[in-house]
Structure formats: C-alpha cells, structure tokens
A = this chain, B = another copy of it.
Amino acid sequence: MTDYTLYYWPIQFRGQIVRAVLAASGADWDEAGMQPTADLRAALPAEQPVPHMGPPVLADHAAGTTLSQMPAILGYLGRRHGLMPGDPGLAAMSDKIVADANDVLYEMTLYNGAQMWTAAAWADYRPRLARWMTLFEETGRRHGLSAEGGTLLGTGAPGIADLTAATLWGVMTDRFPALRPMLDATTPALAALCDRVRARPDQADLQRWSDARFGDAWCGGQIEASLRTVLEAAGTSDDTPQAG
C-alpha cells in the first residue's frame, strides 16, 4: 500500500503542484487515473470519500483522511511533512502564494475553460500575466530571495511556497516555451528559483516521469489548444517580453 492516492486528470496543471509536494516529501503515491477520477467527481456527494466538485482529491491512507481542494491539500501536506514555515506570518504568506497560484491557473485557462482564448484576449491578458510574475518575485524579494537563499522563497529545503512557485511558473514555461523569455526578462530571480528547485533530484525525477506519462499536455482540452494557437500567432508578430 502506498502512502497516498491522488485522483487527478492525466495532465500536469493544478495536480502537478500536489505531485511536486509529494515528491519533495519522499512519499509514495498511486495515481488513480482518468476514469476513477471522473467517476469520483460525478458521484453523489454522499457517496464521495470527500464531498467535492472536482479534483485534485488526495487520500492519506495512514490517516484515513481524504481531502479535496489544492490549497487545502497543500496546507495539510505542508504541515504533515514539515514543509511550512513555523512563523505564523510566513505560513500565511505561504498560503497566499498558493492562493495566487490557484488564481493564475484559473486565469490562464479562462476559468477552467469557461471561454476560449482569442488573440485579442491574450494581448489584453499578457500584462496581467507579467504582473502576476512580478507579484511572486517581489514577494520573494521582501523575504530575502537571492541565488543564495531566502526565508519564504529560495529556502535551503524547498517548502510549499517554493514548490508551488517553481511548479506553477516552471511547468508553465516548460510546456509553453514562448513564455519563458517573458519570465526571464520580467522576473529573473523567480526564473532562477524555478530552475534551482526543478533541478533537485526529486523534482527532476518527477518531471521525467510526468513527461513520459502525460506528454505535452498542460491543462489539456480545447482551452489548451486555444492557448497554443494564440501563443504561436503572438510569437510570429511579437516575441519580445513586455514590462507589466
């Protein structure tokens, strides 16, 4: 029996942050896979192991607990595996980074695919995406983020904040290389943090495993197709990063 079972779609996206934390904590987990995740999501609330609207859902077998909601799962894992700051203010900032990441994932998929990207919508959104990057970097800078370390981001042993920031921005720019120059130019310290965290053996192993299992998919579906289309079109006319 593994330590955990993760119910999530066969993509990276929101669930990859949970996987990054599981990998960093040295936990074993099973992936329930596509159909069991879909079945769990469609079940009546009274029949779900935790009443939830959608994945990720994580079962902790030793504790007999099942949780949904990425921010709640990360808070739980962070406290269980010593990946949260002890200081209450820093712990709250770690929760804040997780909530920001969740918002970025909503926005990049136009709220889980409620709309599709168009060239005009992407052009409008791009400065806001740059501002999100800046919010992460500035938050790190306030807490000493540098190539040598930091107390919230850039810690010697990556915690929830580091793993969330590195997975959000690192995986996004890995799946959409057209966005990497924007990250490098807008927030070089954040870009370097992503690389440092993702070069650690547990994270590099996770990335290789994920690439083999999930292929090129990031968020998947029609919304990913529309995002790839607008990024390709933007790349031919404008590949210089914009300040935001």
The reply to whether B115 and A92 form a contact with Cβ atoms under 8 Å apart is: no
Q: CB of A1 within 8 A of chain B?
A: no
Cα distance A172–B21 when bound, in Å? 36
Q: Is A111 an interface residue (CB 8 A)?
A: yes
Q: Please tell me which stretch of A69-77, A174-182, A199-207, A232-240 contacts chain B, meaning at least 4 of its Cβ atoms lie within 8 angstroms of it.
A: A69-77
Please tell me if A106 contacts chain B, counting CB pairs below 8 Å.
yes
Q: A54: nearest residue on chain B (CB-CB)?
A: B103
> Please, which residues of chain B bring their CB within 8 A of the CB of A138?
45-46, 48, 51
For residue A212, which residues in chain B have a CB less than 8 angstroms away from its CB? none
A93 within 8 A of B: yes
Which B residue sits closest to A79, measured CB to CB?
B88
Instruction: List CB contacts (< 8 Å) of A130-170 with chain B.
Output: 131-132, 134-136, 138-139, 142
Binding site for B on A (CB under 8 A): 45-46, 48, 50-53, 63, 65, 67-73, 75-76, 79-80, 88-89, 91-93, 95-96, 98-100, 102-103, 106, 110-111, 114-115, 131-132, 134-136, 138-139, 142
27 A-B pairs whose Cβ atoms sit less than 8 Å apart in the complex: A50-B96, A51-B134, A51-B138, A51-B139, A53-B131, A53-B132, A63-B89, A67-B93, A67-B96, A68-B96, A69-B96, A71-B95, A71-B98, A71-B99, A72-B93, A72-B96, A75-B75, A76-B88, A76-B91, A76-B92, A80-B88, A106-B106, A106-B111, A110-B114, A111-B111, A114-B114, A114-B115
The 9 tightest CB contacts between A and B, nearest first, are A76-B92, A69-B99, A72-B96, A72-B95, A45-B138, A51-B135, A51-B138, A111-B111, A65-B89
